Amino acid sequence: MKIYRKITKPGKITEKYFGLNLVVQTKLKEATATRYFFVYKTIENDKEIKRRIFGIPFFSSKKNPLLIKVDAMTKKIDALQADVKELRIKHQMGIAIARQHGMVFPKYKNKHEGKDFVILATGPTLCRYKKIEDAIHIGVNKSFLLFPDLDYWFAIDNSVTNQYHLELQQTHFTKFFGVCSSSNRDHLYLSRNQGKLWNYSDRLISKFDNAEKFYFDHPSESINRDIESQALPDLGSCVFSAVYFALYAGARRIYLVGCDCAANGYFDKTAQSDRFNSELLIKGWKNIQYFIECFYPDVEIISVNPVGLKGIFPEIIME
């Protein structure tokens, strides 16, 4: 009797040791099923394959050195091809962003130079806001339901705004719909959104009057200065795109209203989702603060009835 035997049959490979089955491999339609018997173990690395029974080596096969080099080169080539593909996609997206933003934003550059801007977010303190006359008002998400007389409106998450599309269609202010510039599927169908698509399609945007499409960068903490050719920052909220636009449009002073940055719900008394991250938002505001100090030192940011932003910007209280 042979100590070790390997029996190969169509669709099945059996390995025996002293006549006893050690391994049985059965080829299925789309996979291979392997069963191990007794204390048998296969050890495989880049250089060799070893087999042991009861911890005792009984089979060893070194891989061909040339094949090892070929495998290593193949892996490097595959990695390079993946990198080239990613760079090509980013390059194509960069062209698309520059083309789209070049059509959308230049007409707003310094359009409201020297004016005060008010950014209306959706925190509970939005209810305490008393309208500042002769200021440019920019709303985000559902803030327009409380203050419909806006000049501009920003949103980047269709899974949120689809709840009030009908109301939005009745408005006449300029609407900016943000589209994620990432090609990563996970950034389009966020698991934190329970698989809901958060991007806006061109077809959907076309259903609204005075609608513009822009691109935002996600995930990213970087801030691009030239919005005519680069994506707007995400930083955790569409409110940052609104602030960025206000700076571009010539704001002298920006009032932040309803930017509570706290897990205290919304102005309509609904609760925030589990994906709300106040720390991420506060970090984003600190990045914006630094950006403004560097590139717009004459622009003043004022927080109205601050909660999470208390101590970051100068503040005023409205009762």
pLDDT at 37 over 70: no
Tell me the pTM.
Answer: 0.74
Q: What is the pLDDT of residue 197?
A: 60
Asked if 46 and 29 touch (Cβ cutoff 8 Å), the reply is no
Which residue did the predictor score with more confidence, 164 or 29? Answer: 164
pLDDT higher than threshold 50 for residue 304: yes
For residue 272, pLDDT over 70 is answered with: yes
Residue 119 falls inside a structural domain:
yes
My answer on whether 184 and 126 are in the same domain is yes
SS3 192: helix
Provide, rounded to the nearest whole percent, the portion of the chain with pLDDT above 70: 75
* % of the chain at pLDDT higher than 90: 47
Kindly state the average pLDDT of the residues 271-293.
84
d(CA 16, CA 4): 6
Same domain assignment for residues 58 and 108 = no
Return the SS3 of 24: strand
SS3 240: helix
Q: Is residue 71 part of a domain?
A: no
* 120 shares its domain with 194: yes
- For 166-179, write each residue's pLDDT tens digit: 999 999 999 999 99
User: 46 pLDDT exceeds 60?
Assistant: no
Q: Which of 27-31, 102-106, 129-133, 158-162 has the lowest mean pLDDT?
A: 27-31
Looking at the structure, do residues 226 and 130 belong to the same domain, yes or no?
A: yes
Per-residue pLDDT at 317 exceeds 90: yes
Looking at the fold, whether 54 and 94 belong to one and the same domain comes out as no
Look at the chain and report how many structural domains it folds into: 2
Residues 111 and 249 grouped into a single domain: yes
Look at 20-29, 151-160, 230-239, 292-301 and tell me which has the smallest mean pLDDT: 20-29
Cα 255 from chain centroid (whole Å): 27
Residue 193 included in any domain: yes
Q: Does some domain include residue 257? A: yes
319 or 189, higher pLDDT? 319
Is 106 in the same domain as 27? no
32: containing domain: 4-62
Least confident segment among 146-155, 183-192, 300-309: 183-192
245-255 pLDDT, tens digit per residue, is 999 999 999 99
Question: Residue 74 falls within a domain, yes or no?
Answer: no
Regarding whether 122 and 198 lie in a shared domain, the answer is yes
Tens-place pLDDT, residues 111-137: 999 999 999 999 999 999 999 999 999
Distances from the Cα of 315 to the Cαs of 52, 222, 275, 302, 318, in angstroms? 73, 26, 28, 5, 10
Residue 307's pLDDT band (boundaries 50, 70, 90)? very high
Query: Are residues 131 and 258 located together in one domain of the fold?
Result: yes
Is residue 67, in this structure, part of any structural domain at all? no
Q: Are residues 253 and 108 in the same domain?
A: yes
Q: Indicate if 15 and 143 belong to the same structural domain.
A: no
Report the CATH number at residue 97: 3.90.1480
The least confident of 109-118, 163-172, 224-233 is 224-233
Cβ neighbours of residue 40 under 8 Å, at least 6 residues apart?
Answer: 17, 22, 23, 51, 52, 53
Give the residue-averaged pLDDT of 45-62: 57
pLDDT at 187 over 70: no
With tokens 């109301």, the residue in question is 167
pLDDT at 194: 44
Q: 285 lies in a domain?
A: yes
The pLDDT score that the predictor gives to residue 264 is 82
98 and 173 in a single domain? The answer is yes
> pLDDT category, 290, cuts 50, 70, 90?
very high
> Residue 72: inside a domain, yes or no?
no
